[in-house]
Amino acid sequence: MSEPEITPTDILRRADAVTDGFTDAELARMVRRRELIRLQRGAYSQAPTVLPTDGAARHRLVVAATMRGLRAETVASHASAAAMHGLPVWGIELGRVHVLRRPPASGSGSARVHLHVARLPEHELTLVDGILTTNATRTVVDVARSELFESAVVVADHALASGHTSFGALLECLGRMGPVPGTRRAARVLRFASRFSESVGESRSRVLMHRLRLPTPDLQVHVLRADGSIVGRCDFGWRAHRTLGEFDGKVKYGRLVKPGQEPGDVVFQEKRREDELRDLRWQVVRWTWAELSQPRVLEQRLRRAFDRGSHA
């Protein structure tokens, strides 16, 4: 079951509540009665529900609450903007809200706010749920400049695959910045990013393969029968080694379930598809989230498959 959505319009700031005649004691009493939910110091949700358990969804609310208390020229940016755009923020610390101001602003923010000062053209701004935010292209570049490679690739891949931005737009944005900190890091992320990675797991798998110095796979590989019909499409393919790779996340099977089907039907269909692929002398390697935390295990499985496929 999906969680009830809390939107930025449900947020109540203490300052506004006091202006409307509420006291701190009354606000505290409303929290105890669960008429309000405390998001952070001085900000509450008025929605009659619980906070979302998803970290990015919670962060979006905190961003909205924080932005309402800041100056009008402040813009949500970096990881916070990524969360606002619905981009996956895997592995990114969301303890503070990232905001951006144009020069000559200065300062480093606070315990709750990470302040960035940088040039920001008007066309790199947008509104998301009423919150002034860097647009998706600028957001991806800022994340690529400031976050770890793997997390940044996850964001960039998703933005490209979902149509939030394009390679050309990303490169133009990075070029306009000039020699600012993180540009080399960002360029490396953009060179590696792909619009053919369809999930966080697939993006993380690509990064892992790169680090293990495995052969670079083709992505979203179609395997054909002798008559030209399609057996299936696989996440990764190494044609020289007749090996196919599939990242199995729970979300993937959920996407494959059609109206009237049960999850078990999808699993059965996937098993039949894999049997046919093996009949065509392809090696098939599947892995899950657990293997991404055990890189040497996945490496050994893939290299054994490469060896078998090369001699098939």
> 63 or 254: which carries more pLDDT confidence?
63
The confidence score (pLDDT) of residue 301 equals 97
Which band of pLDDT confidence, cut at 50, 70 and 90, is reported for residue 16? confident
Q: Could you give all domains of the chain from N- to C-terminal order, each with its CATH number?
A: 1-52 (no CATH), 54-192 (no CATH), 200-310 (3.40.960.10)
Mean pLDDT of the chain: 87
Q: Is the peptide bond before 104 cis (omega within 30 degrees of 0)?
A: yes
Strands (E), 105-228: 113-117, 125-128, 131-134, 218-224
> What values do phi and psi take at 126, rounded to 5?
-155, 165
Which band of pLDDT confidence, cut at 50, 70 and 90, is reported for residue 280? very high
Q: How far is CA 288 from CA 107, 135, 200, 247, 252, in A?
A: 43, 33, 12, 6, 11
Lowest average pLDDT, out of 59-73, 191-205, 235-249, goes to: 59-73
- C-alpha neighbours within 13 Å on the C-beta side of residue 60: 24
The confidence score (pLDDT) of residue 175 equals 96
Give yes or no for residue 311 having a pLDDT over 80: yes
- Which residues, 6+ apart, have CB-to-CB distance to 213 below 8 Å? none
Question: What is the total residue count of the chain?
Answer: 312
pLDDT digits (tens, 9 = 90+) for 129-143: 889 999 999 999 999
Strand order in the sheet with 11-13: 11-13, 43-45, 37-40
Give the whole-angstrom CA distance, residue 79 versus residue 148. 12
Q: What percent of the chain has pLDDT over 90?
A: 62
The confidence score (pLDDT) of residue 171 equals 98
Strand order in the sheet with 125-128: 113-117, 97-101, 75-76, 131-134, 125-128
The confidence score (pLDDT) of residue 9 equals 57
Give yes or no for residue 123 having a pLDDT over 90: yes
SS3 138: helix
Lowest average pLDDT, out of 57-61, 85-89, 243-247, 295-299, goes to: 57-61
Which band of pLDDT confidence, cut at 50, 70 and 90, is reported for residue 11? confident
Query: SS3 for 178-213, per residue?
Result: CCCCCHHHHHHHHHHCCCCCCCHHHHHHHHHHHHCC
Q: CB count, 10 Å around CB of 52?
A: 17
Which band of pLDDT confidence, cut at 50, 70 and 90, is reported for residue 8? low
Give yes or no for residue 149 having a pLDDT over 90: yes
Q: What is the largest CA-CA distance in the chain?
A: 79
Mean pLDDT across 142-171: 98
Query: Is 89 exposed, middle or buried (CB count within 10 Å of its CB: 0-12, 13-18, 19+)?
Result: buried
pLDDT digits (tens, 9 = 90+) for 212-234: 999 999 999 999 998 999 999 99
Q: How far is CA 10 from CA 6, 25, 46, 127, 129, in A?
A: 6, 21, 5, 17, 11
